[in-house]
Amino acid sequence: MRVPEWRLMELLDIEHRGRVLRGALHTPQTTPAPAVVLCHGFGGNRAEFGYAFVRLAERLARRGIAAYRFDFAGCGDSDGEFADLTVSDQVEQAVAVLDAVGAHPAVDPARVSLMGMSLGGLTASLAAVRRPVRALALWAPAAAAAAMGEEGAARRAAAIEANGYDDFGGLPVYRAFAEDAAAIDPFADAAGHTGPVQLVVGSNDFVLPPDLIEEYRRLYGDRLDLHVIDEVGHGFETVPAREHLLDLTEAFLAKHV
């Protein structure tokens, strides 16, 4: 049976500091093509919630755009330990992935973009300063991971001191992550990207409250394409919201990559 051209996919492993990052590259029939690297959220994997990254990658391939979705070290099928996860390390991984994807024969190296969900969004915004990317798409970026208030930071530090980790919705946040994040300014450290940016967030998102959205407005100015989806939280938890999310991001990337 013939595989539709928009479902062409190859497993692509990328080495980073002695670890194998495992991922999947979706390619259109016509190459070399523009490409988008997809960065998943904290404790997630390359499929993302509701297989959103799989669906987005297939949509992009239909549009003639390659998409690479991968597991960060310590997540999914990639090498590494989850306890070693830090934002800075994820940024380094994303930069290595950008380089590897840009060098792939199916990809136009001058037309590579980044997108990310939650912690992957924060990671993507910081990696976009390290390598020139055409466009940046952010789903509910977890700026709060590196911009915790004093009360939240004190609570997290106390939990780590008592238990060895802070329990974040059933996932452990270890000392290495907390100490690394405290040294990052999610806005000043992301100020070097000069291309278009899309930011999509749920109106009830506790991870990205209005004050942090305003910081992104100030950071990106008139280059920011902001969308707030009503009545959903951090994971865009309804079928219509997720369909709208995919529609918005597909259109944005198709326009700017």
User: What does the pLDDT look like over 193-219, one tens digit per residue?
Assistant: 999 999 999 999 999 999 999 999 999
For β-strands 66-70 and 136-139, DSSP reports them as unpaired
Span of 22-26, 88-92, 145-149, 157-161 with lowest mean pLDDT: 145-149
Residues 6 or more apart whose CB falls under 8 angstroms from that of 248 comprise: 198, 200, 227
Give residue-wise pLDDT tens across range 74-128.
Answer: 999 999 999 999 999 999 999 999 999 999 999 999 999 999 999 999 999 999 9
- What pLDDT sits at residue 10? 95
Q: pLDDT band for position 147 (50/70/90)?
A: confident
For β-strands 19-26 and 9-16, DSSP reports them as antiparallel
The tokens 């390390």 sit on which residue? 89
Q: pLDDT band for position 150 (50/70/90)?
A: confident
- What pLDDT sits at residue 119? 98
**Cβ atoms of 19 and 27 closer than 8 Å:** no
Residue spans of alpha helices (H) in 31-130: 52-62, 87-102, 119-130
Residue 48 has pLDDT above 50, yes or no: yes
Q: Where are the domains of the chain?
A: 5-147+185-256
Residue 243 has pLDDT above 70, yes or no: yes
Cα–chain-centroid distance for residue 257? 16
149's tokens: 């208030």
Task: Tell me the average pLDDT across 27-54.
Answer: 97
- What pLDDT sits at residue 1? 46
Q: What percentage of the chain reaches a pLDDT higher than 90?
A: 94
Residue 2 has pLDDT above 70, yes or no: no
- What pLDDT sits at residue 4? 58
Q: For domain 5-147+185-256, give the CATH number.
A: 3.40.50.1820
Give residue-wise pLDDT tens across range 169-193.
Answer: 899 999 999 999 999 999 999 999 9
| DSSP symbols for 205-228 | -SSS-HHHHHHHHHHHGGGEEEEE
- What pLDDT sits at residue 7? 64
Q: How far is CA 135 from CA 3, 124, 131, 192, in A?
A: 29, 11, 11, 13
**Cβ atoms of 28 and 66 closer than 8 Å:** yes
Mean pLDDT, rounded, of the chain: 95
More confident residue, 1 or 180: 180
- What pLDDT sits at residue 8? 85
Nearest to 69 by CA among 84, 81, 55: 55
Q: What is the DSSP letter of 72?
A: P
**Cβ atoms of 106 and 66 closer than 8 Å:** yes
Residues 6 or more apart whose CB falls under 8 angstroms from that of 72 comprise: 21, 39, 40, 78, 85, 90, 93, 120, 123
80's tokens: 């590494």
